[in-house]
Structure 1
Amino acid sequence: MSADSAAGDAPRPTVPAPDHALESVVVRQERGPDRCTCYPADADEATRLTTWLSVNADVLRDLETMR
């Protein structure tokens, strides 16, 4: 690698779109932080609670603002 090039300058590979899409839902809490869960559309409630990612909604960031 030459001194002129930096890792951040390399072209980004094109990533194909996945054959599935994730949905998300924010559950508003009376006590404690609101929670957001991302999951596939066909996941039942038990699977969403035990398998998929849930985070405090206040830590989420808009993808466009992070680019």
Structure 2
Amino acid sequence: MSANSTAGDAAHTTVPAPDYALDAVTVTQERGPDRCTVYPTDADEETRLTTWLSLDADATCDLATMR
């Protein structure tokens, strides 16, 4: 499926790349799954506490293999 294809009556819209970069860190847990946290690279410490996304590390995949 190309970026300009349609699904039913709705056209696929290409979203421009964001103008910020993200960083990720994986933390090994003693109990439970390892956790990967993604946050804005240029965020100050206060923003890092509120602007982030965490997920189980085994739910991630290598970007190069997905391209």
Per the TM superposition, whether the score is higher than 0.5 is yes
Q: Which residue of 2 aligns with 1:36?
A: 36
Q: Runs of at least 4 residues of structure 1 off by over 2 A? A: 14-19, 46-51
Q: Which runs of 5+ in 1 are unaligned?
A: 1-7
SS class of match (1:51)? coil
The letter of the residue matching 1:37 is: T
Structure whose residues are more often helix by fraction: 1
Contact 1:21–1:41 (CA under 8 A) maintained in structure 2: yes
Quote the RMSD (CA, aligned, Å): 2.4
- For structure 2, list consecutive stretches of 5 or more residues without a partner in the other structure: 6-13
1:41-65 superposed Cα distances (whole Å, 9 cap, x missing partner): 2332x54344311000011011222
Relative to the length of structure 2, the TM-score reads 0.61
* CA distance in structure 2 between the aligned counterparts of 1:42 and 1:51, rounded to whole angstroms: 11
Work out the CA distance in 1 between the residues paired with 2:29 and 2:39.
19
Task: Tell me the secondary structure at the aligned position of residue 65 of structure 2.
Answer: helix
Q: Please state if 1:27 is matched with 2:27.
A: yes
Counterpart of 1:60 in structure 2 is 60
Supply the AA of the counterpart residue of 1:57. A
